[in-house]
Amino acid sequence: MKRYILAILLVLFSSQLWAEEQKFEGLQLATAPINEFDMDAVKRGAKFFATNCMSCHTLTYLRYDKVAKDAGIVTDKKPISINGVTPPDLSLEADVRGVDWIYTYLHSFYKDPATASGVNNLIFPGTAMPAIVAPFQGEQVLVEKPMHDLLNQVQWYDLVKPVKQGSMTPEEFDKAVADVVTFLAYAAEPYHAEQERLGYWVLGFLVILFVMMYLLKKEYWKDVKKTRQ
Ligand code: HEC
């Protein structure tokens, strides 16, 4: 029993861990509004990635994939270095950080003259990634007094405010980020949709097998019971 309690505590605690290191108290991850089986979104996200992210980030572990290839994504690029930091490979990013984290990260850059790139990030303080999204999202700065709710929680958009408009409306930007996150979720598990489909077949098969086994057992025991009498 003790072990179970310990395990439950560990799980609860580990999900809190990232929040512990936060500079911004009570900052919550936004829920990424994505459907990872939406292949149109995956394709749009792959295009966006090929144009805006691939100059820095590699996707080395992406298995051969027609969707990614059609979007112009290559997997044999050599990593580069930005101010001494190598942009991490993003093939498994959706598994490592989670889709909500990436979605929030891409939304929460703000101007910070103290950094080498001139921007900083709410959930990744001191990030070496430059202001890649600013041309689309616009520029944002920290608000002076963020509004916390009753539980002392804040969302990224409570902490920053726009100061310069980008080429996209907020809705267009949300959608573009959701698409690229959908693509990264797909890239981390390209067979997920297929696995899910197969899963139902397997479950269906097991149900049928169970019924047949049960009938068979009844049939066998009928004779056994008879001989015992
Ligand atoms: C000019 C180069 C550059 C471009 C272009 C770029 N990034 Fe980055 N990115 C970086 C660097 C450098 C880091 C590493 C930050 C660090 O470790 O401090 C990073 C980090 C990240 C991370 C966090 C990785 C982690 O878990 O630590 C994500 C997610 C990410 N980038 C996504 C993107 C997406 C999506 C795009 C395209 C819209 C993009 N990046 C475009 C340079 C770039």
**What atom in ligand 1 is closest to the CA of residue 102?**
29
**Poorest-pLDDT segment among 13-22, 107-116, 167-176:** 13-22
Angle at 45 between CA 159 and CA 49, to 5 degrees: 85
Amino acid 175: pLDDT: 98
From residue 154, alpha-carbon distances to 20, 25, 149 in Å are 14, 8, 7
pTM of the model: 0.81
The reply to whether ligand 1 has any atom less than 6 angstroms from the CB of 53 is: yes
On the question of pLDDT at 142 being above 50, the answer is yes
In this predicted model, what pLDDT tens digit does every residue of 178-193 receive, in sequence order? Answer: 999 999 999 998 777 7
> C-alpha 136: how far from its chain's center?
20
Amino acid 19: pLDDT: 47
Name the closest-CA residue to atom 10, ligand 1: 129
The reply to whether ligand 1 has any atom less than 6 angstroms from the CB of 85 is: yes
Residue 178, Cβ neighbours under 10 Å: how many?
Answer: 21
The reply to whether ligand 1 has any atom less than 6 angstroms from the CB of 52 is: yes
Structure confidence at residue 194 as a pLDDT band (50, 70, 90): confident
Structure confidence at residue 82 as a pLDDT band (50, 70, 90): confident
> For domain 22-190, is the CATH number 1.10.760.10?
yes
How far apart are the C-alpha atoms of 111 and 135, rounded to whole Å?
13
Give the residue extent of every domain in the chain.
22-190, 196-229
**What atom in ligand 1 is closest to the CA of residue 184?**
35
Between the CA of 124 and the centroid of ligand 1 the distance, in Å, is 11
The reply to whether ligand 1 has any atom less than 6 angstroms from the CB of 105 is: yes
The reply to whether ligand 1 has any atom less than 6 angstroms from the CB of 56 is: yes
**What atom in ligand 1 is closest to the CA of residue 126?**
18
Q: What are the backbone dihedrals phi and psi of residue 12, each rounded to the nearest 5 degrees, phi first?
A: -60, -45
The reply to whether ligand 1 has any atom less than 6 angstroms from the CB of 117 is: no
Q: What are the backbone dihedrals phi and psi of residue 104, each rounded to the nearest 5 degrees, phi first?
A: -70, -40
**What atom in ligand 1 is closest to the CA of residue 105?**
29
Helix or strand holding residue 138 (H, E): strand 138-142
Between the CA of 25 and the centroid of ligand 1 the distance, in Å, is 23
